[in-house]
Amino acid sequence: MIADQLESLGMKGRDFLGLADYTPDEIRKLIDLGIELKNLNKAGKAYRPLEGKTLGMIFEKSSTRTRVSFEVGMYQLGGHALFLSRNDLQIGRGEIISDTAGVLSRYLDGIMIRTFAHQIILDLAEHSSVPVINALTDYSHPCQALADYMTVLEHKGKLAGLKIAFIGDGNNMAHSLMIGGAKLGLHVAIASPDGYLPDAGVQQDTRAIAAETGGSLLVTEDAREAIADADIVYTDVWASMGFEEEQKIREKAFANYQVNEELAKLAKPDYVFLHCLPAHRGEEVSAGVIDSKHSIIFDEAENRLHAQKAIMAALM
């Protein structure tokens, strides 16, 4: 049991800012630990390595899954979670992030943050003496990608060699799936319209990682090319949090990027559909796909709990 040997993971005290900072072996161990913790939980067995510890959860954006899964997860691990919304913290009134980090580190055993610019989490981590966990920035969403690959492993029995097609905005979700997919040896295909392609640096890093693991990366504007023979089909909203005012322009730009029954026909017959949620039926995905037998969105959402418990147990 990995759960009995947390120290041997060598992750104690580390931050979880992105999957790029973790080796393929470490990512796989986190996934396996998540599956173990899920099994313990289903068997009704208590596992409380974080008794007496407290996680601060800073939210500068809305959340359903992340907030609930981290709070419940921390409780199940024997610890306590504090919800800290931007409006209730002094950062909302201009206290600088380094002072916030220094102060919170004196009270808490870990800090989870959902914020806008990725630089904010980098600054927070630099000035915190406790582990900092990325619960979404404009740049990445690694907790979600970890839970996603755990879900795929449960459904497909393997990860390396599978093809994942992400259709839509080359956003935070695309970035984390690219890096995570490459680390785990998947073939990653991204289809986005011109102007919404994934970050060039992330593309470069993904290619470099894939060259080591046997994975690959295809970035195209052609959704049909990306989805061809995919084992996993993934999409996300067209206008992420913080980009709501671009909704109308984005609806035009992404009109040909809806994952619907016609497009999904090009994927493998036994493809699985994932979406980090929240979803907009009739925009990035048709109801016919997201509510079909291919869709594993609720297993995926559930696994946020188990995967994040693995992260917290390993780091804290």
When asked if residue 109 is in the footprint of ligand NVA (CB under 6 A), the reply is no
Residue type, 267: A
Kindly list the distances between the CA atom of residue 1 and the CA atoms of 4, 24, 50, in Å, as whole numbers in the listed order: 6, 19, 17
What is the DSSP-derived secondary structure letter of residue 57?
Answer: E
CB-neighbour burial class of residue 86 (10 A; exposed 0-12, middle 13-18, buried 19+): middle
Integer Rg of the chain from CA: 19
CB of 206 to ligand CP, least distance (A): 21
64 binds, among ligand NVA, ligand CP, none (CB under 5 to 8 A by kind): ligand CP
CB closest to ligand NVA, residue no: 240
Residues 69 and 91: their CA atoms lie apart, in Å, by: 24
When asked if residue 240 is in the footprint of ligand NVA (CB under 6 A), the reply is yes
Which SS3 state, helix, strand or coil, does residue 134 take? strand
Site string for ligand NVA, 191-230 (x = CB under 6 A): ----------------------------------------
Residues 120-179 binding ligand NVA (CB under 6 A) are 136, 141, 171-173
When asked if residue 235 is in the footprint of ligand CP (CB under 6 A), the reply is no
When asked if residue 151 is in the footprint of ligand CP (CB under 6 A), the reply is no
Tokens describing residue 77: 């691990």
Contact residue for ligand NVA among 89, 241, 266, 279 (CB under 6 A)? 241
When asked if residue 66 is in the footprint of ligand CP (CB under 6 A), the reply is yes
Contact 151, 300 (CB under 8 A): yes
Residues that are catalytic: 114, 141, 144, 236, 276, 304
When asked if residue 309 is in the footprint of ligand CP (CB under 6 A), the reply is no
Residues 229 and 147: their CA atoms lie apart, in Å, by: 23
Contact 166, 188 (CB under 8 A): yes
Residues that bind ligand NVA (CB under 6 A): 136, 141, 171-173, 236-237, 240-241, 276
Residues that bind ligand CP (CB under 6 A): 63-66, 136, 144, 276-277
